Every structure is written in C-alpha cells, then in structure tokens.
Structure 1
Amino acid sequence: MEATYLARIVDPLIAELMTEVPAVSLIGPRAAGKTTTALRHAASVVHLDRPGDATVFRIDPDAALRGLPEPVLLDEWQEAPEVLGAVKRNVDADPRPGRYILTGSVRAELDAHTWPGTGRVIHVRMTGLTARERFGDATEKPFIDRIVRPGSLDLRLPESCPDTRDYVDLALSGTFPEPALRLSARGRRRWFDSYVQQLLTRDVAAVEPRRDPERLRRFFEALALNTAGVVDSATLYRAAGINIKTANAYENLLSNVFVLDVVPAWFSNRLKRLAQGPKRYLIDAALLGAAVGADTETVLRDPDLLGRLIDTFVAEQLRAELAVSDHRPRMHHLRQEGGRREIDILIELAGHRVIGIEVKASTGPNRDSGRHLAWLRDELGDRFVHGLVLHTGRHIYELGDRITAAPICTLWA
C-alpha cells in the first residue's frame, strides 16, 4: 500500500477531524477508494463484508468492539448495521476524539427510520481521484481558495499542459482508482461497462429492490446524454419511457448511491427571471462514455458530446475540493429563463460572494466568451470575486476586470 497510495485531498481533513471528533464516516461512490484512504488513518480494521466478522458484530457488537486498537475502521458497516448502535453507545459513554472510522454504502442509512449517528458521526464526502491527486499536489490549497486569496490571482500552469485530445483521454480514463491507475484503455472500457451494469442491477437494487433495471438503464442513458445540461425533467422521463413519479424516484436513487450530482440553480433577489431548474452531472465523466459507448474519437467528432464531457470533467475536479475549502463553498449554476444568459458553474462562498466559471472546449476563448461573467460582475459588484473561462488551450490571459481565461489544467498546477 505504501508504494502505490496517492495522497487524497481529504486526507488532511480526516486527520484534523480525528483529533477533534470521536467518529468519522467516509461516504461516496463505490470503488472511489474510501477503504484504502481510511486504512491510512486507522490502527485496526474490521472487514464486515467477511461473514465471520459480520456474524460476531451482529450478535454482540458492544463486546466485539471492546479492546480493539483505536481508531477502529469498520469497513462495509452496512453488512452489520447493529454496529452503528454500538458506536453510538460507546461514543456517548466516552467521547474521546479519533475512535472510529466507518466506510460502506448508504443502504443502511436509507433503510433506517432514524440515523443514530446524527451529532456523533461526522460525514466526509469522498470523490474519485482528481487530476490534482494524480498529477499535482494533493496537499496544496484548494483551487477555490487560491482564487479567493487576497492581493493576487494565484493561477499557474503545469510543466506540460494537455491539448483537447489529452483532456478527452483524461476524462474517459475516469476518477475511480482501479481503472485510472492500473488498466489499459480496453480494460477501462470493460471496467466501466461492468460498473454501470452492477450499479443498475445490484447496487441500486440493494437500496430499492423493486426498481426495474431495464427502465432504470434507459433513464441512466438519458441522464448521461444530458450530463452538464439544464434539461426539463419531462425530456428525461419521456426519453426513458417512464412517468415523472418514476423518474423522480430514479433520480433520488442515483443521487443516493453517489453517481449523480443534482446541482441547484443559484438565486438572487438582485437578478431577474432566473431559471430554477437544476443542472445534472454524472459524478465521473467516464460514466458518460460507458453509458453511450463513446471513445475519444467519437467524442472529438461530436461538439455537443465534447462540451458535455469537458464540463462534467471540470465539475468533478471542483466537487472534490468543496469539503476542504476554508470558504464553505457550494456549487450552483446560473441560467436566465430562455437561456439568454447562463454560467456553467457558480461557486457561492461564505458571505454570499461568488466565483463564476465558464467551461469551453476550445483553445482560444475571446472577450465574448466571458460576456455572461461580465454581466454578473456588473450586477453583483463587490460580491463577484472573479470569473474564469476555463478552456483547452495553453495560455492564461485577461478578458476584462476580474475575468480571466485559463487552461483547465490550472485546476491542478
């Protein structure tokens, strides 16, 4: 493990929390590396997906926990959900920091009428591997915090900046550690095909066994084709051949298993006619390739698909940093009714300040590319921190007051 482990963005946060709170739960999509990361912070581990261990913890979880070196990692805890009650009782009796780390699925949380960990177990959301974790410095300040830094805009370029094809290849390699780090392109395609198949037939069934896998697959494909888009819900459920009630249930399921991020629209009383519909993202751009059978050549020949893939890729890089930023950021999008003006990603910070981000699958955006950011700047005044046009070129340059064009790779440089 020592030779292959890549430091994760959340590692410092986990370490900090373990000095302050008694129990931490790592949540996120299956195969994102939660267990591998948790092992770095644990003194002992119980693998509850092993039948023998699970049986002991189902029978008498309090006794089974007693005497284990702490912090104790309870891996796949949902296989013996009784252990959570034991953690609650132990933490209530002895609230010393750094006692337990939990990893697993959300199934038990969703099945339970109450979540006994509230106020006792702190959730830390993990994503898959970002480009910064793979190619940069995971201990560096989050990109968002570098934009907010007073005095100067801290944008940098890596030694080698990708071109458009490189970005597509990187996006399709995915964020899940196994395919991203160890598999060939052919192997990755098979891995993601299998991941989608198991997601729709096994993982979702564990949460809601009554769902029809074939109809769910059609809905997932409709979501994939519309990732990074503001699309009417009716478009999605009609494309999947289901009704709105079923579509809403499917969307909630996919969100609960962390493969879909529903980004809310941003709202301000100062701006008129803002649309309220959400923007939906698959949490990994490679899932788009798997869902629609697209490889690099297919994406490069389809401008719409290219734009959606690159937007999804940028969103997954930023999403990973939300939990560790000092500015309590939340991700939104902005769109006026009728699409007159829209901004791909809007990061709202504490104090209602905002960073606007446009994502362009082009190498040389001009001043016109930042016109919606300029409009937002003029409307918000000092609340507008900065606007970025992230592109697939290789140069950083100004497009106006507090508006900068920068390569996407500045996210991890």
Structure 2
Amino acid sequence: MYQRSIVATLSQRMSEPRRFLQILIGPRQTGKTTAVTQALKQIDIPYLYREVGEHGESPDWIRAQWYQARSLVNDANACALLVIDEIQYVKGWADAVKALWDEDARTGIDLRVVLTGSSATLLKSGMDESLAGRFELIRCTHWTYGECRDAFGFSLDDFLFFGGYPGAAGLREDVSRWASYVTDAIIEPSIAKDVLALEDVRNPALLRRLFYLGAPYSAQEVSYRKLLGQLDDRGNTATIAHYLELLAQAGMMSGILKYDPKLLRERSSSPRLLVHDTALMTAAYGSRRTRLLEDPDLKGRLVESAVGAYLIARSQVEGFSLNWWRDGSNEVDFVVSNERQVLGIEVKSGRIKSTGGLTAFVLRYPEARTLIVGSAECTLEDFLLGRVPLLEG
C-alpha cells in the first residue's frame, strides 16, 4: 500500500522520547487514520489505539483510555503509546488531556500520545486555550498530484478533474458514481459533522448554500454583497466572511484576500473563492461537470484552482501567506509572502486574460519576484510536483 511522507514523520515522532503531544490534523477523507495505522506497524513499542465515535464521548472516557495505556508501561516496557482518533468528538477533550499529560510529566511516565482530528476550528480552540506549549502539529493535507500519480496512476487531467481524495480515486471510471461519493461521503459530512455539529452556526442552510454556490466559482473574485444577493439572504457580509472561515477550517473552501501590506485594506477586500481540492469544485458543478476539461475558460479556472489548492496546502505546512492582487485591469493570480519575501504568481491556464498583471505588480512592489506557472521555465506539471521553489531559505 502506498505510504505518504507523513507516515515517516509519525513513526519518528512516536519513537522519540516523550516531549510533546502529537496532533495530526487534516480534512476529512485525506488518509489520517490510514497514515497512523501504517506508522504503528513501523514502531516497536506497545500501544493502545482508540477511535471516538461520531456520537461523542465524555472526558471520563479519555481518562479510562489513558489509564489503560499507562498500564502498558511496566518493568518490561519503559514506554508506551496512546492514539486517540477523532478527538474533537469528545466535549472538553483539551482540559482532560492537559490534566493527564501534566500528571505523566510530574510522575515521569513515558506515555507518548498521538491525537487526530478533522475539525480544525474545534481542535485549534482547545489547543490554544489549554495545551499551549505542550503539542506539535502534523498536517495531513489533501493529496498532491505526485502522490495521486504514484498511488493511483493519475494523469495530470485526472488530477485536475478528480482531485486528491484517495477513497474516491477508484471510482473515476464512473463519473456520476464518483461525484455522488464525493458529495455524500466528503462534502455533506464535512459540513454537517465538522462545522455545523461543532460550531455555533445561526444559519446552517446559508452556510451549506454558500459552499454549493461558491465552489463552482473557484478561482474567481466574488464580492460579499454579490454572494448575499445570489444566496437570496438578508444576512450581512460579516456572516458570509465568518462562514467562509469555517469552511476553510474544514478544508473545503477559502476566500483569499487581496494582497496589501496595509492589513486593514486587505481585510475589507472582496475575496477570491478557492476550493481546497478540485474534486470539490468538480462535484459541485453538477451535470455540467464534464465541460470543465472541454471548455478552455472553464478548464482555466480548474487549473487555477488546482494551483491555488496546492498553495493553500503548502501555506498550512510552511506558514506563508497566500493572497491575490488586482489594480484596475491588472491582476495577479496569487501572491505568496512572508516577513522577508514576496512572490507574484501568474497561471497560464488557457483562458483569455490580461497579461500585464505581473509587470504592474513589480512596479508597485519592486522587491517582489515573479513566477509564471504554465511557461516553458515552469510547467504546470513541474509546479504541482513540487519541483519549483517558492520562497528562498
């Protein structure tokens, strides 16, 4: 069975002396449980694996598993490992974990702990509030083109259309069945179980409609007011912005903002919608989805969405900011930046658009470097395979 690079990371962390909680976080159906299972086969210490059911558990359940895992540490075994999968379904999990982890630190028990979860919003709130300084994050992102090519034999067009969900890959010969699986096993559970069931969402129907309306618009600028108008809702733009943040935390769709060092102006800008995996755009397109590879303009949006999704995944791991830029008719598809560097990225995707964006961007920001994805120097395939550096050092 194919193994992602995070398997080696997990097995290494499991084998290290107890230092930090290891928290594996990522969108639903990206292979977190599989990666943990593969890593467990590579270690040589006793372990206890438990999965939290979607009905949830209490903090007492965590304590019971923890005590059982502690019993594995004895004269014959100097250390042990506890793995709890989908920890976000335990209400108050972070406080319980903190107390037990600190007890082990005081008593010198070498019990290593790995937690996984798919609700980034809930996990992060618990980590920030209770577990500061006690954990390391391992991010399980959507599968890359290189991984899908090696594991499933995907062509570039396969990856653009079907995206990077491993469970759906075997259904690609039947597009309707594939789309039903993505909708029923990924999109709807992500909305219902990773957002609505765990967050205080006042208008669940609006959030769901926002995703299904926004995903086909991926790689396009859409103002908050236009979204409200098309959603036929009397809510406010702050609600739409908040719901986009929740969808982003669930690994579904972001509204990336215009690049501007003046952050106040950046946050007041219209977002460019961007799915975190092109499968979400394809599935949400409905019966017209086959046109995504046939119509040059639609395929252009699909290509730009694939590049954007790849950049989102890398930004989560590498910690850079991702934006876009426009001044009048001059537009840059993506802007990657950190404290020291700025990179403007134009995607040659086959659709007709202005070509002066990068030139205007460099005139405005002389320190910026530029990159054209889809050029002879940087092909789309090379970029999606990670062969092209972004920020130096």
TM-score (norm: length of structure 1): 0.73
Following the alignment from structure 2 to structure 1, what is the Cα–Cα distance between the partners of residues 150 and 338?
24
1:66 paired residue number = 70
**Contact between 1:130 and 1:320, CA under 8 Å: does it hold in 2?**
no
Pairs within 5 Å for 1:139-288: 167-181=156-170, 184-186=173-175, 187-194=177-184, 195-208=186-199, 214-242=205-233, 243-244=235-236, 246-268=239-261, 276-288=269-281
1:356 paired residue number = 344
Following the alignment from structure 2 to structure 1, what is the Cα–Cα distance between the partners of residues 164 and 85?
21
Answering whether residue 19 of structure 2 is matched by residue 5 of structure 1, we say: no
Structure 1 residues 281 and 210, CA gap change in structure 2 (3 angstroms) = closer
Tell me the CA shift for residue 236 of structure 1. 0.8
Report the number of matched residues.
361
Structure 1 residues 54 and 65, CA gap change in structure 2 (3 angstroms) = farther
Aligned AA (1:205): L
Structure 1 residues 45 and 284, CA gap change in structure 2 (3 angstroms) = same
Following the alignment from structure 2 to structure 1, what is the Cα–Cα distance between the partners of residues 242 and 183?
23
Structure 1 residues 296 and 108, CA gap change in structure 2 (3 angstroms) = closer
1:152 paired residue number = none
Structure 1 residues 347 and 306, CA gap change in structure 2 (3 angstroms) = same
Tell me the CA shift for residue 59 of structure 1. 6.2
1:396 paired residue number = 376
* Aligned-CA RMSD value: 3.8
Higher relative contact order (CA 8 A, sep 6+): 1
Tell me the CA shift for residue 14 of structure 1. 4.7
Following the alignment from structure 1 to structure 2, what is the Cα–Cα distance between the partners of residues 105 and 379?
40
Segments of 5+ residues of structure 1 without an aligned counterpart are 138-159, 398-404
Following the alignment from structure 1 to structure 2, what is the Cα–Cα distance between the partners of residues 86 and 213?
30
Partner SS state of residue 197, structure 2:
helix
Following the alignment from structure 2 to structure 1, what is the Cα–Cα distance between the partners of residues 56 and 335?
48
Structure 1 residues 276 and 17, CA gap change in structure 2 (3 angstroms) = farther
Tell me the CA shift for residue 226 of structure 1. 2.1
**Contact between 2:59 and 2:96, CA under 8 Å: does it hold in 1?**
no
**Contact between 1:22 and 1:91, CA under 8 Å: does it hold in 2?**
no
Following the alignment from structure 1 to structure 2, what is the Cα–Cα distance between the partners of residues 112 and 219?
27
Tell me the CA shift for residue 75 of structure 1. 0.5
Following the alignment from structure 1 to structure 2, what is the Cα–Cα distance between the partners of residues 52 and 209?
17
1:411 paired residue number = 384
Partner SS state of residue 30, structure 1:
coil
**Contact between 1:56 and 1:64, CA under 8 Å: does it hold in 2?**
no
Answering whether residue 57 of structure 2 is matched by residue 57 of structure 1, we say: no
Pick from 142, 147, 155: which aligns with 1:128?
142
2:286 paired residue number = 293
Following the alignment from structure 1 to structure 2, what is the Cα–Cα distance between the partners of residues 293 and 302?
15
Following the alignment from structure 2 to structure 1, what is the Cα–Cα distance between the partners of residues 287 and 372?
26
Aligned AA (2:112): R
Following the alignment from structure 1 to structure 2, what is the Cα–Cα distance between the partners of residues 323 and 12?
19
Tell me the CA shift for residue 287 of structure 1. 1.0
Aligned AA (2:117): G
Structure 1 residues 411 and 257, CA gap change in structure 2 (3 angstroms) = closer
Segments of 5+ residues of structure 2 without an aligned counterpart are 41-46, 73-78, 388-393
Tell me the CA shift for residue 320 of structure 1. 2.6
Tell me the CA shift for residue 92 of structure 1. 2.6
Following the alignment from structure 1 to structure 2, what is the Cα–Cα distance between the partners of residues 74 and 372?
48
1:156 paired residue number = none
Pick from 16, 21, 46: which aligns with 2:50?
46
Aligned AA (2:196): A
1:144 paired residue number = none
